Amino acid sequence: MNVSLIRSMRFDIESDECLVETLNVFRDMVNLMLEYGLENEVYSAIDLEKHFWDTFRDIYGLQTHYITSAARYAAGLFKSYFGQLKAWDELGQQTGEPSSPTQKKLCMRLQTMLAHLELVDGSLELHVVTKPWEHVRLVLQVYQYAEPLVEAWKAKT
């Protein structure tokens, strides 16, 4: 399984059942928000978060930061989708209208409250909070190109 960290590097990790389950839940949350947003013309992260806050908290039992992250992710997909629609309208392309936004890949945008890096016995670990008082520890396998950046992080430079 591959995990990408925003604004940084790509790492390989071993598959973890809890993480895969959390990624699937996050994808479902985003897709429900996208579906609701298109049906009800609600496209802002704040409005999506308000609508789904209690429902998702009760259904999934994840940290509430996941709801905020899913709403922001969905709003970003809406922004991209409407940008594509605008470009399609301006160019008058006959290739067909862009498809509705959906989250297909297993990925997550994590707030700093949900994940942090630690140096443990010389290896880099990502700690991801899933449910309250539960977290997953993932040992990251650093690619050669990223080693200088990781060394700088270790040295706190």
* Residue 19 within a domain: yes
Global pTM reads: 0.79
Domain that holds residue 101: 11-154
Q: Is residue 120 part of a domain?
A: yes
**Structural domain contains residue 3:** no
- First vs last C-alpha separation in the chain: 30
Provide the domain count of the chain: 1
- Kindly provide the residue ranges of all beta strands, DSSP E only, lying in 1-103, ordered along the sequence: 2-4, 10-12
- For range 111-134, the mean pLDDT: 81
Q: Is the pLDDT of residue 6 over 50?
A: no
- Report residue 75 CA to chain centroid gap: 12
Domain contains 85? yes
**Residue 124: predicted pLDDT:** 79
What per-residue confidence (pLDDT) applies to 2?
60
Q: Does the residue 5 lie in any domain?
A: no
Q: How far apart are CA 112 and CA 148, in angstroms?
A: 23
Asked if the structure places residue 117 within a domain, the reply is yes
The residues near 64 (Cβ < 8 Å, ≥ 6 apart) are 53, 57
Measure the CA–CA gap between 4 and 1, rounded to whole angstroms: 10
Reply yes or no on whether the pLDDT at 74 is more than 80: yes
Q: Looking at the domain assignment, is residue 6 inside a domain?
A: no
- Domain membership of residue 32 (yes or no) is yes
Return d(Cα 111, Cα 129) in angstroms, integer.
10
Sole residue written with tokens 């699937």: 24
- The more confidently predicted of residues 2 and 98 is 98
Please report which confidence band the pLDDT of residue 7 belongs to, taking 50, 70 and 90 as the band edges.
very low
Question: In this predicted structure, what is the pLDDT of residue 3?
Answer: 56
